[in-house]
Structure 1
């Protein structure tokens, strides 16, 4: 019985570790701290984000949320897919949460099995 408890304890303790501060070149603390892109920090570190796009693809929804923080908008698409949208610049979403915004954003398409499959940049929502 003791042998079964040790692996379970290790698994539970490893899940309690804090979110990482960096992902390759990307400073995740700065990214997460700029909710809605309202402080201009995400826009300033956008080149670092673009450098890690290929490494973000294939990550699970839980991993992405741990790395990038809760999305500014979680949009449901067809066929059980979702988009995690993160705004890159200040806009109406800063003054009025939930307001329609055409501010530059990045959208991460999540497949039906919860993996990031596509990352696009656009104005507003995809």
Structure 2
């Protein structure tokens, strides 16, 4: 990823208070590193890797989307990958609703996410 893309991703991370655009879980990036997040939540590094901050293009580049701050949000690696894994990926709003519905039922992430303070499902994150 280019340095300008990394800056846009970091700005989105800050704008979203370090929470994923889709699931609202805390993520890590250059500001809050992998090891710091693992230590703060007493989790193994292999688990925390799923919550890495990625730059999510709301309108994909292959569909003419740009690398502008208006088109990029911060999403955890899991949510970003699952959106694009489908044969016909959902649009961002539909995917967000789908994820939030699954989050309410604790059916999106592995159980350790809901058991830690990483996820604000217990609070009012939706």
Structure 1 and Structure 2 fold alike (TM over 0.5): no
The structure that has the greater radius of gyration is: 1
More helix by proportion, 1 or 2? 2
State the TM bucket, normalised to the shorter chain: under 0.3
Task: Determine which structure has greater relative contact order: mean sequence separation of CA pairs < 8 Å that are 6+ residues apart, divided by chain length.
Answer: 2
Please give the TM-score of this superposition, normalised by the length of structure 1: 0.22
